[in-house]
Chain A
């Protein structure tokens, strides 16, 4: 009978440990398996000192103390493990674990490591019989549970030479594929914001004439590009659009060394990812790694609306500067911008000869006009006719979660700007919201993240701006709550129109109860589960 209890407890501990390992792996994955990032997240989210882990630790030491009979400790451990495991297993996560080959490798290695630890414990303490062995097993698993994050990082470190070898092999394959396609025209796009949108717009225009491939979704790292080349690039592709993301100096150069782009677009240099970049000068230097890597016969298309771009001279490659807000000194400007109920009409003008291209689009927002202008400049340089460009622009569908607007007849108008907000983008989104004067205007946001030292100030400014641009503000989560509330109050928003909620689900319920048909809601930024 006692044996049964011990075995049950051991199984429960195993269950708890497995579930916890998966959960930790999920968070590890969301931090790109980068130990520094993971450790920062662990510290800031308080994961290592969570209630459950503390309970586990207490139980662990309690069981070791001479005052506690083993059976009682084992039963307690078993109950705790079963309860904890079930609770964790039922939890739903916004971005669940994706069992990639790499995740699997880390998981298995972590498990093996834990098995070794458990094995050592059982051998060391278990020579007093089966019950003692099972007790040791429970204890070991409990310890592993408490230290699962450490085990994961250790597993990753053990695997790192293998991972490096695998990545090198894939990298070399991609490089040789690209080398074999001599006629392939490669265009790179980078910028603190607007990369993905510009990539889609350029792809739409070029596809009218060429077989075009673009890096999918968020494959904007070196590994993402390697994967795109190995899995998606075909011999009949004529143009390859590569989106390049960066969090550290040298990131862009790394991708350029692989793909050797002919053309490049820099959409913005702004305060994003300042946690890793530290200063905006570093952001500028990194984005211009792209321009500096272009060949003499290539082409750079850069956004002159940004001070940090306008101030930076470019001599090494032909350069087209485009602008919407600050046309002085630009080669391509967007003019005569007219907002209509179904989208926007505008003209792209080539300043040198005054040639005008009139365009009509479903997209809204000044940032989109800017991104379209960049794409037009590059498409024209690649020989796509005006007619084809205009047709493509008219057909472009809004990109989900990037300032897309959906009018539901008899219901709400939804402005969806849920993807990785930034100070400039969020200001534009507020402008679009403020223009919706038919009903009440709701703002639903957790604020902006990854702004390093400027996070509080930027969120406060955002709140201040929002006070005059919306009627009701719902602030989600604690991350930027104080900053946004301060801004809203300073901006004069009445208290009764400000709500704070803990989660998006709550925010959604609140919205449903307070809104009526004809109202507009702006979803500004969204956060994965790593942030609460």
Chain B
């Protein structure tokens, strides 16, 4: 008897293809004696498919052909209904393709990592690994993430944020704010995208205007951050939940330019498109022990304060001159699930996947002890329900 685990990947985001790679790596690493791994691919237009052809990365060169070999499926947003239904209904026979026991989302970027997909899973109530809606949304948005971490004393760089409409209406005020609070150089980012899309450095006002216009094409929320010169980037992965977690070894990604670009991240490495895993990096990062400990501590704190779950990767920045350490951002579903960081820490990929499954069930178990709704029907108690209007002032 095997546990049915669905791995969701693809999705409507700019990181669709990276997700395919991450998910295939993860699925291959799962113990086939314990689990029935069911791949569920979400196309760029939001339809869900399953089929064994999805586990060969080569098949993705021609999506149309690939989908022909697959079955379109869907889940019902009914609490407790963990069935994967076939989209095409037959006259006779069941339309249930499989009954899932748990889900592992391996979606990157918009709609998959920002809490939107997680909301679907939480509505259904199926055990799943990874940040729930709260942590996903806060972790994905660079603005809210900084607000929460700063409130708990975790070091982040100074920033100014605004919406595209605010920029349109109050451009001069915002420029003044950026110049007085931060001072050039600054870095401009869309608040809620991943993988270095729409990001640019601004050294002066003209630059700032250009880069903000650039970022505005991708997102309505913009953040302008203090640029850390003499930047050393260090990443650390965290695994567990906010009650019990552990941190991995540190990595230092090697970049081609000033900042780690999209090209660096995903086109670096071999011709096989092997994703984050294959981009150039130094593992473990070459740092004094005190700094390593401090970074691991801050990564853990970030994970805990944001109420994370599963495996995340916290990207930190060190100012090489002052040795100040800042938390840059968190990836709540990191590329390749950061398996290479965990392998370096002594945890094999299949063990990492086991741990994710265990965490999924543990969260469901813990949640089931909390009261979500009351059995009594207030309407039925008699005396009427007056609502705000009826109550006496």
Contacts and interface: CB of A to CB of B under 8 A. Distances in A.
Q: Is the interface of B mostly helix, strand, loop or mixed?
A: mixed
A100 interface: no
B3 interface: yes
B300 to A, nearest CB: 20
Contacts of B94: none
B169 to A, nearest CB: 51
B365 interface: yes
Given A234-B101, A235-B34, A211 B361 contact: yes
A207 B365 contact: yes
A395 interface: yes
A181 B1 contact: yes
Contacts of B365: 207, 211
B361 A236 contact: yes
23 contacts: A177-B1, A180-B1, A181-B1, A204-B369, A207-B365, A207-B369, A211-B361, A211-B362, A211-B365, A234-B1, A234-B3, A234-B101, A235-B1, A235-B2, A235-B3, A235-B34, A235-B101, A236-B3, A236-B101, A236-B102, A236-B357, A236-B361, A395-B369
Contacts of B2: 235
Given A180-B1, A234-B101, A235-B34, 5 more contacts: A211-B361, A235-B3, A235-B101, A236-B101, A236-B357
Contacts of A204: 369
Nearest to A237: B361
List 10 A-B pairs, minimum CB-CB distance, nearest first.
A235-B1, A235-B3, A236-B3, A211-B361, A207-B365, A180-B1, A235-B2, A236-B361, A395-B369, A234-B101
A181 B361 CA distance: 18
A7 to B, nearest CB: 40
Interface in B1-57: 1-3, 34
Nearest to B34: A235
Interface residues of A, number: 10
Interface string B81-108: 0000000000000000000011000000
Interface string B358-380: 00011001000100000000000
Nearest to B360: A236
A502 B341 CA distance: 73
Nearest to A212: B365
B369 to A, nearest CB: 6
A181 B362 CA distance: 20
Interface string B124-153: 000000000000000000000000000000
Interface string A204-217: 10010001000000
Interface string A341-381: 00000000000000000000000000000000000000000
A487 B256 CA distance: 93
A395 B371 CA distance: 12
Contacts of A177: 1
Contacts of A235: 1-3, 34, 101
A236 B1 CA distance: 9
Interface in A230-252: 234-236
A432 to B, nearest CB: 24
A207 B1 CA distance: 22
A177 B1 CA distance: 8
Contacts of B361: 211, 236
Contacts of B362: 211
Contacts of B34: 235
Interface string A179-222: 01100000000000000000000001001000100000000000
B244 to A, nearest CB: 11
Nearest to A207: B365
Contacts of B102: 236
B99 to A, nearest CB: 10
A395 B366 CA distance: 11
Nearest to A233: B1
A281 to B, nearest CB: 41
Nearest to A392: B369
Interface in A392-419: 395
A236 B365 CA distance: 12
Contacts of A234: 1, 3, 101
A395 B362 CA distance: 17
Interface in A462-484: none
Nearest to A181: B1
A24 to B, nearest CB: 33
B175 to A, nearest CB: 53
Q: From B3, B34, B369, name the one whose CB has the most chain A CB atoms within 10 angstroms.
A: B369
A395 B367 CA distance: 13
A234 B2 CA distance: 8
